Structure 1
Amino acid sequence: MSETKDIRNSSKAPEPVGLYPHARKVGNLLFLSGVGPRERGTKKIPGVELDDEGNIISYDIAAQCHSVFQNVRYILEDSGSSWDQLVDVTVFLTNMKDDFKTYNKIYAEYFKDNQPCRTTVEINCLPTPIGIELKCMATVK
């Protein structure tokens, strides 16, 4: 993990797609930038199959959920926090109608012991061909 002032970046989570850090610490709070399911160092997105032009041929929201939750965990841990210190989660889905039930079931598995506040919204698209992104806040010990 590299740190400049209160900026936190993980060496395990996928690189940001713009000029922003993985997280920023303010007091005892950690604010995570939007986190998707991509894999670090590649353009691979677990659960997403693209054609030669980059259009989505098929996707598996369950695989994306597991991957995005792992990426959030990487950022939390590399920033001095942990999964059980999450206090607020905003979830962006690109297909609420088809994906909410699966996402909600998987979310319940990951958050059975810690239940942060949660907001889930449907959006038209995300900057990369993904179906889910999380924006999180956590405490830092």
Structure 2
Amino acid sequence: MSDESDPIEAGLRTEGVRVTRQRLAILHVLREATDHPRAEDILARAKEQDPSVSQATVYRTLSVLEKAGTVLRNEFDGAGARYELAEGGHHDHLIDLDTGAVIEFHSDKIERLQAEIAAELGYEIEWHRLELYGRKSGRRR
């Protein structure tokens, strides 16, 4: 199950984190996720891989992975904590207020505009997070 050449697993071992069967199941869930799952979603999916995964294991593992910089914890308004792997480059999020869906996007135009605004104010951006909240056009409340 464990892949010695996997950079995430190698990084965890370097940090002194044991790579257990349960943690591998959780990593598998995060790698395969096309959404930004909540901890309870991760638990349900990981149990399909390894029935011995517990809620406590998921929360402990997410905490360890977050501290190691492997996982990002997103706190979207009203949506609770959602998780994603830290790999994959910078992107922003659009949160659908009706469905709770989290859509990743990247816009060079937005990135340039943010850099211009920061420069006009005498700053260079070190990092940023952009979250947009909306409803599909034409959808009624």
Q: Which has the higher contact order (CA 8 A, sep 6+)?
A: 1
TM-score by length of 2: 0.28
The alignment's TM-score, normalised by the length of structure 1, stands at 0.28
